[in-house]
Amino acid sequence: MTRWAVPFSGAILNWRLKRGKEDTERVNERKGIASIARPEGALIWIHGASVGEVISMQPLVEYIRKQGFTVLMTSGTVTAAQTVAQRMPAGTLHQYIPLDAPQFLQSFLDHWQPGLALIAESEFWPNLLLETSNRSIPIVLVNGRLSQRSFSRWKYVKNNAAALLSAFDLCLAQDRDVAERLQQLGAPRVLTTGNLKFDVPPPPADAADMQEMIRTVHGRPVFLAASTHRGEDEDIVDAHIEVMQKVPDLLTIIVPRHPERGGEIAELVQDYQLVPAMRSRNHLPDRGTNIYVADTLGELGLFYRLAPIVFMGGSLIKHGGQNPIEPAKLDNAILHGPYVHSFTSIYSELNRRHAAATVTDAQSLAASLLRLLDDPALVRSMAEAAHATVIPLSGAVDRTAKALEPYLVQLRFGR
């Protein structure tokens, strides 16, 4: 958003408010107007666009808080804000990131005056970077990610990419491929520190809720479709119907990536003449429930522990897939679609080690699910391989902390 677009910001925000994409009580934060006071002392600003980026920052936030610094986290979605409240250490502040207009960023920076800005993954907003850099605030890209697809697009505007990346004092890349892409686009200083998502602890599960679900399911075979996107639910329901012919008591749990889609998924299930139940309405799946729509936030840890077989959403459509590290840590056998370009390396390794399998449509999903339901030993083998794949890949938070130490030293001494 440039200066000329600022007059339209109200219309943009109203449009988003009507669709539940903004927080009604905190919408002014999107214009750089803070809703809370700035505490005294050095403050480190960490920005993660949505839930995935916010979760990946958890171990880094914990490290920085232990060093005695105030952390301000910004995000662009309501669900990410709720995730900050649920999973970040006590004392972590949160604000919504301003729309990318100079005057909004100036207001934001005037109030918060961060001593260091850490930008997660691939948030290359021009005004955010320019306004922050103009104030001589060091900017570090952490857990840097740049897919081959994005790299190919950036190459057509290489001068623009170089101008944006020059705002970063340092880029910390998830792997060597990302580091090479950033360097080719003109990033001045790049280090490979690994993927912080491997250091994130598995999502929690409430013990009482877990026991309640175990009692409710009562020995039924359970299949989880996690973080699904619009365009995938039909295939999941079709696969459920096919599997039901041989496993009539199958319970499929669908956890939509965006919980507000719960109602439309329940309607879809009814259109197929199946019986849904919705967690957002405090329903539990009884013996007559075919598909349980878990349209709540922060409960994936519960359902990963309940279901031994998981399909990772965002992969049957050209979204790029969802992060498989959490179910791998929780010993799930993993299925996924062909479109996993956002997590290419980890899915490739999981597939290579027979910890995950690719499906392409409802028929292949049903076939894979039937095979796994019929072979508990194969499920255990895949789950063990998944766990063994991801556990040795941790350590990125230590390497990231080491790279950030010079900046933290400067902040400690007020420079």
Return the structure tokens found at 345: 């390396």
**Residue 72 contacts residue 95 (beta carbons within 8 Å):** yes
* Beta bridge mates, 335: 311, 357
Residue closest to 140 by CA, chosen among 396, 408, 414: 408
pLDDT tens-digit profile, the chain (415 residues) = 555 557 768 888 988 988 888 999 999 999 999 999 999 999 999 999 999 899 999 999 999 999 999 999 999 999 999 999 999 999 999 999 999 999 999 999 999 999 999 999 999 999 999 999 999 999 999 999 998 889 999 999 999 999 999 999 999 999 999 999 999 999 999 999 999 999 999 999 999 999 999 999 999 999 999 999 999 999 999 999 999 999 999 999 999 999 999 999 999 999 999 999 999 999 999 999 999 999 998 899 999 999 999 999 999 999 999 999 999 999 999 999 999 998 988 999 999 999 999 999 999 999 999 999 999 999 999 999 999 999 999 999 999 999 999 999 999 987 5
Range(s) within the chain of domains with CATH label 3.40.50.11720: 3-199+394-412
Residue 399: HSE in the Cβ half-sphere, 13 Å Cα cutoff: 19
Fold of the domain built from segment(s) 207-393: Rossmann fold (3.40.50)
Would you name the residues annotated as active-site residues? 53
CATH of 3-199+394-412 among 3.90.1010.10, 3.40.50.620, 3.40.50.11720, 3.40.1180.10: 3.40.50.11720
Model confidence, pTM? 0.86
State the CB neighbour count (10 A cutoff) for residue 373: 19
Give the tens place of pLDDT for each residue, 172-231: 999 999 999 999 999 999 999 999 999 999 999 999 999 999 999 999 999 999 999 999
Range(s) within the chain of domains with CATH label 3.40.50.2000: 207-393
Give the tens place of pLDDT for each residue, 314-324: 999 999 999 99
Residue closest to 123 by CA, chosen among 71, 66, 42, 56: 56
* Structure-token match 């075919």, residue found: 290
